[in-house]
Amino acid sequence: LSTRASTVLSAAGIPADSELPGVYHGEWVGSGDILESVCPTTGEVLARVLSASPHELNTALERSRDAYTTFRLMPAPKRGEILRQIREALAAKRDELGALVSLEMGKIKTEGSGEVQEFIDIADYAVGLSRMMNGRMVASERPGHSILEVPNPLGVVAVLSAFNFPVAVYGWNLALSLAAGNATLWKPSPSTPLCSIAVTKIVAGVLEKNGVPGAVAGLVIGDRNVGEAVVESQDVDMVSFTGSEFVGRQVGRVVQSRFGKVLLELGGNNAAIVMPDADLDLAVPAVFFGAVGTAGQRCTSTRRLYLHRDIAPAFIERLASLYASVRPGDPLDQSTLLGPLHTRAAVGIYSDAVDRLRKQGAQILTGGALYHELKEPLDGGNFVMPTIAIPKVVEVKDAVWSQETFAPVLCIGVFDELDQAIAWNNGVPQGLSSSLWTRDLRNVGKWIGPAGSDAGIVNVNVGTSGAEIGAAFGGNKSTGWGRESGGDAWKQYVRWSACTVNFSDDAPLAQGVQFST
By CB under 6 A, residue 164 contacts ligand UN1: yes
Pick 68 or 163: Cβ nearer ligand UN1: 163
- The residue with its CB nearest to ligand UN1 is 467
Residue 335 phi/psi, 5° resolution?
-85, -5
By CB under 6 A, residue 284 contacts ligand UN1: no
Pick 182 or 301: Cβ nearer ligand UN1: 301
Given candidates 113, 300, 366, 453, which one binds ligand UN1 under the rule CB under 6 A? 300
What part of residues 89-118 is at the interface with ligand UN1 (CB under 6 A)?
118
By CB under 6 A, residue 125 contacts ligand UN1: no
Rounded distance between C-alpha atoms, residue 282 and residue 156, angstroms: 44
By CB under 6 A, residue 170 contacts ligand UN1: no
Pick 164 or 453: Cβ nearer ligand UN1: 164
Pick 213 or 340: Cβ nearer ligand UN1: 340
Pick 411 or 467: Cβ nearer ligand UN1: 467
CB of 387 to ligand UN1, least distance (A): 19
CB of 464 to ligand UN1, least distance (A): 8
Rounded distance between C-alpha atoms, residue 14 and residue 412, angstroms: 43
With contacts defined by CB under 6 A, name the span among 162-170, 243-251, 375-383, 489-497 that binds ligand UN1. 162-170
- CA–chain centroid gap for 261, Å, is 18
Which residue out of 265, 317, 376, 395 is catalytically annotated?
A: 265
Strands of the sheet containing 145-153, edge to edge, are 136-138, 145-153, 494-502
Cα three-residue angle 108-111-115, rounded to 5 degrees: 135
Pick 56 or 118: Cβ nearer ligand UN1: 118
Pick 164 or 443: Cβ nearer ligand UN1: 164
Residue 486 phi/psi, 5° resolution?
-85, -150
8 A C-beta contact, residue 154 and residue 261? yes
By CB under 6 A, residue 298 contacts ligand UN1: yes
- In 3D space, the residue among 344, 51, 343, 13 whose CA is nearest the CA of residue 187 turns out to be 51
CB of 346 to ligand UN1, least distance (A): 14
CB of 301 to ligand UN1, least distance (A): 8
With contacts defined by CB under 6 A, name the span among 38-46, 90-98, 163-171, 505-513 that binds ligand UN1. 163-171
By CB under 6 A, residue 169 contacts ligand UN1: yes
In terms of Cβ atoms closer than 10 Å to its own Cβ (0-12, 13-18, 19+), residue 460 is: middle
By CB under 6 A, residue 467 contacts ligand UN1: yes
Rounded distance between C-alpha atoms, residue 215 and residue 183, angstroms: 7
H helix count then E strand count, the chain: 15, 24
Given candidates 163, 165, 437, 447, which one binds ligand UN1 under the rule CB under 6 A? 165
Residues near 129 by Cβ (< 8 Å), separated by ≥ 6?
80, 176, 179, 490
CB of 510 to ligand UN1, least distance (A): 45
Asked whether the bond before 15 is cis by omega within 30 degrees of 0, the reply is no
CB of 254 to ligand UN1, least distance (A): 21
CB of 365 to ligand UN1, least distance (A): 25
8 A C-beta contact, residue 32 and residue 52? yes
Rounded distance between C-alpha atoms, residue 502 and residue 357, angstroms: 67
Sign of CA dihedral 310, 313, 316, 318: negative
CB of 82 to ligand UN1, least distance (A): 24
By CB under 6 A, residue 299 contacts ligand UN1: yes
8 A C-beta contact, residue 135 and residue 185? no
CB of 428 to ligand UN1, least distance (A): 17
Q: 3-state DSSP call for residue 223?
A: coil
By CB under 6 A, residue 315 contacts ligand UN1: no
By CB under 6 A, residue 465 contacts ligand UN1: yes
Site string for ligand UN1, 236-265 (x = CB under 6 A): ------x-----------------------
Rounded distance between C-alpha atoms, residue 32 and residue 37, angstroms: 15
Catalytic residue flag (residue 395): no
Given candidates 151, 466, 480, 482, which one binds ligand UN1 under the rule CB under 6 A? 466
Residues near 259 by Cβ (< 8 Å), separated by ≥ 6?
none
Q: 3-state DSSP call for residue 513?
A: coil
Pick 346 or 394: Cβ nearer ligand UN1: 346
Amino acid 474 reads G
Q: What share of the chain is helix, strand, coil (3-state, %, to 5)?
A: 40, 20, 40
The number of C-alpha atoms within 13 Å of 204 and in the hemisphere containing its C-beta is 18
Pick 57 or 457: Cβ nearer ligand UN1: 457
CB of 357 to ligand UN1, least distance (A): 23
The number of C-alpha atoms within 13 Å of 449 and in the hemisphere containing its C-beta is 8
Q: How many residues line the site for ligand UN1 (CB under 6 A)? A: 11
Pick 199 or 418: Cβ nearer ligand UN1: 199
Annotated catalytic sites, by residue?
Answer: 265
User: Which residues of the chain form contacts with ligand UN1 (CB under 6 A)?
Assistant: 118, 164-165, 169, 242, 298-300, 465-467
